[in-house]
Structure 1
Amino acid sequence: MDAHPARYWHLLDDGRLQCDLCPRDCRLHEGQRGACFVRQRVGAGMVLTTYGRSSGFCIDPIEKKPLNHFHPGSSVLSFGTAGCNLACKFCQNWDISKSRSMDRLMDAAAPGEIAAAAARHGCHSVAYTYNDPVIFAEYAIDTALACRALGIASVAVTAGYIHPAPRRDFYAVMDAANVDLKAFTEDFYVHQTGAHLAPVLDTLLYLHHETQVWLEITTLLIPGLNDSDAELAALSRWICDELGPDVPLHFTAFHPDYKLDTLPPTPPATLTRARQIARAAGLHYVYTGNVRDLKGGCTRCPSCDSLLIERDGYRILAYRLDASGACPGCGHRLAGRFGKFATPFGARRVPVHIGGH
Structure 2
Amino acid sequence: MSKPKSLMLHEAGQAPQVVAEMLAREAPAFAALARAVSARGLRLFSTAARGSSDHAATVFKYLMEIETGLPVVSIGPSVASVYHRPLHLEGAVHVTISQSGASPDIVALQAAAKAGGALTVAVVNVTESPVAAAADIVIGLGAGEERSIAATKSFIASVAALAGVVTAVGGSTALARGLARLPDALAATEGLEFGDAVKVLTGASSLFVAGRGPGYGIALEAALKAKETAALHAEAFSLAELQHGPMRLVGPGFPVLAFVPDDAGFDGNQQTLARLRGMGARTFALSSRPIAGADVLPSCGSGLLDPLVALLHYYRLIEAVARARGHDPDRPANLAKVTETL
TM-score exceeds 0.5: no
Higher helix share: 2
Higher strand share: 1
TM-score (ref. length: structure 1): 0.28
TM-score (ref. length: structure 2): 0.28
